[in-house]
């Protein structure tokens, strides 16, 4: 094999090997962006898109409560944001994102802060969790499964 043919072959192999990494990086970026957008919407009390992070087939387990679905999640979020007697906020810290094809697992910690009008106490909780994202038919990444619990 000539030097030029070898270089061309190696370049082709590099492109093939780099493609999954580029796809994973694009998926990770899309997932980070989706989480950032959701957090901004929640913190701004914008309920118009608050359910966009979740897939229609959502199933979730939280703090030992019964398993719930998309409708329960959306109605709970909208109810919480409509209660103007409370100040609510979320922040997240991604520990790891693993992408495999059209699925991704995100290990993260959510920090929530809540206070009630007329009370000085602010309740802060940390909630380690595991979110399973699936790429939807429209190309967006949405959470289809998640588990979270309050840290001691």
Domain ranges, ordered by start, for the chain: 20-148
The band of 2, judged by pLDDT with boundaries at 50, 70 and 90, is: low
Strand order in the sheet with 103-116: 68-69, 54-62, 141-148, 122-135, 103-116, 86-100
Q: What's the average model confidence in pLDDT over 117-133?
A: 91
Q: Average model confidence (pLDDT) for the chain?
A: 87
Least confident range of 21-30, 94-103, 118-127: 21-30
Residue located via tokens 């090997």:
17
- Classify strands 141-148 and 54-62 as parallel, antiparallel or unpaired: parallel
Q: What's the average model confidence in pLDDT over 35-59?
A: 96
Q: What's the average model confidence in pLDDT over 117-139?
A: 93
pTM of the model: 0.81
53-89: buried (b, 16+ CB within 10 Å) or exposed (e) per residue?
bbbeebbbbbeeeeeeebeebbeebeeebeeeeeeeb
CATH of domain 20-148: 3.10.450.50
The band of 132, judged by pLDDT with boundaries at 50, 70 and 90, is: very high
- Cα–Cα distance measured from residue 119 to residue 103, given in angstroms and rounded to the nearest whole number: 43
Whether residue 101 is predicted with pLDDT greater than 50 in this model: the reply is yes
Which pLDDT score is estimated for 106? 98
Please give the torsion angle defined by the CA atoms of residues 51, 52, 58 and 63, in that order, rounded to the nearest 10 degrees: -50
Q: How far is CA 72 from CA 16, 22, 60, 124, 125, in A?
A: 43, 36, 10, 23, 21
* Nearest in space to 92 (alpha carbons), one of 133, 49, 31, 134: 31
- Classify strands 86-100 and 103-116 as parallel, antiparallel or unpaired: antiparallel
């Amino acid at each position: 094999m000539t030097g030029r043919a070898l270089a061309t072959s190696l370049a082709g192999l590099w492109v093939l090997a780099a493609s999954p990494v580029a796809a994973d990086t694009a998926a990770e970026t899309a997932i980070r962006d989706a989480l950032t957008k959701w957090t901004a919407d929640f913190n701004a009390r914008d309920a118009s898109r608050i359910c966009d992070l979740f897939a229609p087939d959502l199933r979730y387990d939280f703090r030992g409560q019964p398993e719930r679905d998309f409708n329960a999640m959306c109605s709970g979020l909208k109810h919480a944001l409509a209660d103007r007697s409370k100040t609510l906020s979320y922040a997240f810290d991604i520990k790891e994102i693993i992408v495999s094809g059209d699925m991704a697992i995100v290990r993260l910690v959510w920090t929530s802060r809540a206070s009630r009008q007329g009370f000085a106490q602010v309740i802060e909780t940390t909630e380690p969790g595991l979110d399973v994202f699936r790429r939807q038919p429209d190309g967006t990444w949405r959470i289809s499964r998640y588990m979270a619990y309050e840290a001691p």
